[in-house]
Chains A and B, each alone.
Chain A
Amino acid sequence: MNDEAEKIRRSVASALSKFAGEPGPLLEILHAIQNDLGFVPADAVPQIADALNLSRAEVHGVISFYHHFREHAPGRFVVQLCRAEACQSMNSKALEEFVRGRLRLNFGETTPDGRITLEPVYCLGNCACAPSIMVNGELHGRVTPEKFGALAKEWGVSP
């Protein structure tokens, strides 16, 4: 067994030992694995299915249903840009164009150097301070292209 597979096995085992005894534990388990590894690898599915007495299809079905769960490793900085109405009213469409151009990414893509992942999000609850983005759990409001450019510089994105 190689190192990567062993790391996944251990992460899943730890999540299972923590949550498998709780009622309806699958989301809790998937959250624990994603918090640990950054995503839920396909190799984790059989181990989870076995432990919870579910089919692999059922586990995969849950992972693929929720936008939050990823099946591949994300970039070091996950940039979530709000596309919902309140942000649209403050011209988030223009910000979206700018961000895609600045990062050279479409939604769901990661930069080749593994630094940035760009994701859409539908409301961050910051609607009186639109437009908003969230980066690795940190919220930014009233985001302008200038403000975004300064943040991108901090993440080490070349202009």
Chain B
Amino acid sequence: MGCEPVNTTVTVYVPGDASACSLGANATARALETEAAKRGRSVRVVRNGSRGLFWLEPLVEVVTAAGRVAYGPVTAADVPKLVEAGLFEGGEHSLRLGDIATHPYLASQQRLTGARLGLVDPASLDDYVANGGYAGLTAALAMQPAEIVKVVSDSGLRGRGGAAFPTGIKWQTVHDQPVTQKYIACNADEGDSGTFSDRMLMEGDPFSLIEGMTIAGLAVGATQGYIYLRIEYPHAARALAKAIQVARDAGYLGDNVRGSGKRFELAVRLGAGAYICGEETSMLESLEGRRGEVRVRPPLPAIKGLFGQPTVVNNVVTLASVPVVLARGAQFYKDFGVGRSRGTIPLQLAGNVKHGGLVERAFGLTVKELVYDYGGGSASGRPVRAVQIGGPLGAYLPAAEFDTPLEYEALAAKSALLGHGGVVVFDDRVDMARMARYALEFCAIESCGKCTPCRIGSTRGVELMDRIIAARAGANGHHGTHEADMALLDELCDTMFNGSLCGLGGLTPFPVRSAYKHFREDFQRAG
């Protein structure tokens, strides 16, 4: 064999992640193939997930003798010059980033759930196993179901979808039901603005979710799992379909999981553009083929869930965190975090921020550290005025509160919530009265209509905000009624908070109230 590099196949990673594709990754991949063909180079392009440094996407990585060398952001137009500069050998160029794993944004993270994101080929079971995948299932198969539940309980893992309910307690309840047919239902209806960790995991490391669901099935005695995936995620749908087929063909799913004699099957069901279906009982209705109207609890889904059977309903990140808990043990996982927020949380930094992306850290990072140390401040270069944490039902925090640690109890003490871990940054041009109006408008658009406080309250709230905004501009004849309107808004928030059946109507007061509590000036009449 000669040592000419020309004779060896070069492996190049170009993310197939939806965000990377939205910035032209498909064209970049095609350009790399074209350029390689022109030069007679043999190149294997792997569509990996994203590392989660979105200002560097499309992030191209080339495998060299000295390890992976990254370049970014690489558009299709950059490719000819990059190849000319020796990209296939890891050559020098202004876009060269070196080993991306040593980038401070990544090196400072504690990636447990997202350990394989961007590293592996999402469709390759070999890659998954070679990088620690299925070690959790192997451990679980050697345990009694009750032992698996105990490990998950002891780890302190709480639901990452938003409600933060202890996962072990939920599993224990389902485990204890003396019923033959039980289900695992994964909530992949990630509808909160500012969140994308579920999407990244499903696209970049789908086997971790499949493994987590399989372990959940073994733990509670469920033989069938459903992934309820939002229709807005076509890339994730394709990645899951592929990975489920691969897992089934390799005996990781089916009638005899890894020769254990245990059965577990998995199917993806698509939602149809309804935010409310991220609420667990509404999701179950939708999975059963009905309108996504919220169910009255009790009974809890763990006792009477999908098709009336005991059902574990967990979010994608929760289930995808289970393999590492089983593989490394409860204590390992529990050693991360603060107070009653144990383990790591994949935070999603979004909106008007310079370095948006995925930041998985032990609970306890402050808003300031996230927005400035990781995010580098606003994308516009203007002062950051507010962040909204936890999606459209989460509170707005002003800059004065940015020392708040991102963990469940500290945020609750500030009348805020962590939700699914999304943090959206706004600069000083944001109009907080308009954001409060939007929160109510969104609630009106997405309300399932079952309970009155949410269905009617949201619409009355929009009308109220229209009056307040008009009065603020001094443009109408409502002199003297502004204070009354503000009092009425507060009363309406009380009614929605206390009287709604679920979190949609119940939590919409969080963004509204935090907006007028912290940004009162945006609600006042000028002059």
Interface set of A (CB-CB < 8 Å, partner B): 23-28, 30-31, 61-62, 65-69, 84-90, 121-130, 132, 134, 137-142
Contact = CB atoms under 8 A, between A and B. Distances in A.
A80 to B, nearest CB: 8
Contact of A68 (B272, B290, B379, B427): B272
Given A67-B274, A85-B193, A90-B351, A126 B18 contact: yes
Given A88-B438, A90-B352, A26 B289 contact: yes
Contact of B21 (A31, A86, A123, A139): A139
A128 B54 contact: yes
A27 B285 CA distance: 11
Given A122-B275, A127-B350, A139-B22, A66 B292 contact: yes
B96 interface: no
Given A66-B273, A122-B445, A128 B289 contact: no
A130 B350 CA distance: 8
Nearest to B26: A138
B269 interface: yes
Contacts of A86: 193-194, 350-351, 422, 424
Given A85-B392, A121-B232, A27 B351 contact: no
Given A24-B290, A66-B273, 17 more contacts: A23-B288, A23-B307, A27-B270, A27-B272, A66-B292, A68-B272, A85-B392, A86-B193, A89-B351, A89-B427, A123-B191, A123-B192, A127-B351, A128-B54, A129-B23, A138-B21, A142-B23
Counting from the closest, the 9 A-B pairs by CB-CB distance are A128-B356, A26-B289, A141-B22, A127-B350, A84-B193, A66-B272, A68-B273, A89-B351, A67-B273
Contacts of B336: none
Nearest to B285: A24
B438 A66 contact: no
A123 B350 CA distance: 12
16 contacts: A23-B288, A26-B289, A27-B270, A62-B289, A68-B271, A84-B442, A85-B424, A123-B192, A123-B195, A127-B350, A127-B356, A128-B19, A128-B54, A128-B356, A129-B57, A137-B234
A140 to B, nearest CB: 5
A126 B272 contact: no
B426 interface: yes
B328 interface: no
Given A84-B392, A85-B435, A139-B22, A125 B232 contact: yes
The B contact surface, by secondary structure, is mixed
Listed residue (B194, B427, B448) with the most chain A CB atoms within 10 angstroms of its CB: B194
A126 B430 contact: no
A140 B26 CA distance: 12
Given A85-B193, A85-B194, A128 B272 contact: no
Interface in B1-47: 18-19, 21-23
Contacts of B293: 65
Contacts of A129: 19, 22-23, 54, 57, 356
Listed residue (A30, A89, A140) with the most chain B CB atoms within 10 angstroms of its CB: A89
B193 A122 contact: yes
A90 B272 contact: no
Listed residue (A25, A27, A69) with the most chain B CB atoms within 10 angstroms of its CB: A27
A125 B190 contact: yes
B425 interface: yes
A62 B291 contact: yes
Given A123-B191, A125-B232, A128-B54, A139 B273 contact: no
Contacts of A25: 289
Contact of B18 (A61, A65, A125, A130): A125
A61 B388 CA distance: 34
Contacts of A27: 269-272, 286, 289
Listed residue (B19, B191, B293, B448) with the most chain A CB atoms within 10 angstroms of its CB: B19
B446 interface: yes
Interface in B231-287: 231-235, 269-275, 286-287
A89 B382 CA distance: 12
B348 interface: yes
Listed residue (B18, B193, B275, B430) with the most chain A CB atoms within 10 angstroms of its CB: B193
Contacts of B234: 137
Interface string B419-449: 0001011110010000100100010011010
B289 A24 contact: yes
B425 A127 contact: no
B290 to A, nearest CB: 6
Contacts of B221: none
A25 to B, nearest CB: 6
A128 B53 CA distance: 9
Nearest to A122: B275
A63 to B, nearest CB: 9
Contact of B269 (A28, A66, A137): A28
Contacts of B88: none
A75 B435 CA distance: 32
B510 interface: no
B101 to A, nearest CB: 20
A134 B446 CA distance: 20
A113 to B, nearest CB: 26
